[in-house]
Structure 1
Amino acid sequence: MTSATPQTNDEILQFPQLFPIKLVGLTTEYFQTIVTDIAREHFDDFDESTIEIDYSRTRKYMSVTITVNAKSREQLDNMYRACTSNPVFKVVL
């Protein structure tokens, strides 16, 4: 019987790759702009045509999903840290 060596996340993720990121927060007129600005800070080739917007049933919350061209785990981690430290975002997936 052969024991399999567990893979680390870095071995599972291969770069570059298209990577979806979903951000959820209260519906405001500037929510999408904040998402776009942060994405541009971390991904110089960010394509705004990948933006998808959805609303909760009551429209109190909105979600913005972007797809980025991630070149490294570090790049994704930096984006995640920037988003989770911003109080506008309630959930980052």
Structure 2
Amino acid sequence: MNEESLLTFPCTFAIKAMGKTSPELDLLVVEIVRRHSPNIGEGAVSSRPSKGGNYTAVTVTIEAHSREQLDAIYLDLNRSPHILMTL
């Protein structure tokens, strides 16, 4: 079965990951994403703490080249014990 993608590649894509707040969370998320998308541009990473400050959402905007690339990024992020959720 051939699924039609709603995305046209290459495209700009925001990867979001949430984890417990720690000084290393941003670096961890960027390190994982960079394995699959080495050219992360300046200003491509942002983070936002939750209302209570216990969790942080990290967004990394990349130039995505394929569905397989995005799937690999999400698999790696979800394998990390520091990442609680991805969007």
| Structure 1 partner of 2:38 | 44
RMSD: 1.4
Deviation at 1:9, TM superposition (A): 4.1
Corresponding residue pairs, total: 86
| Structure 2 partner of 1:22 | 16
Distance 1:90 1:49, change over 3 A: same
Encode CA deviations 1:35-81: one digit per residue, 9 max, x unaligned.
11111111021124111110111111001011110001110000000
| Structure 2 partner of 1:82 | 76
Query: Which protein is richer in helix relative to its size?
Result: 1
| Structure 2 partner of 1:3 | none
- Stretches of structure 1 lacking an aligned partner (at least 5 in a row): 1-6
Could you tell me the percent identity over the aligned residues? 33
CA contact (8 A) 1:80 1:92 kept: yes
CA contact (8 A) 1:21 1:65 kept: yes
CA distance in 2, matches of 1:25, 1:15: 28
Runs (4+) off by over 4 Å: none
Q: TM-score under structure 1 normalisation?
A: 0.86
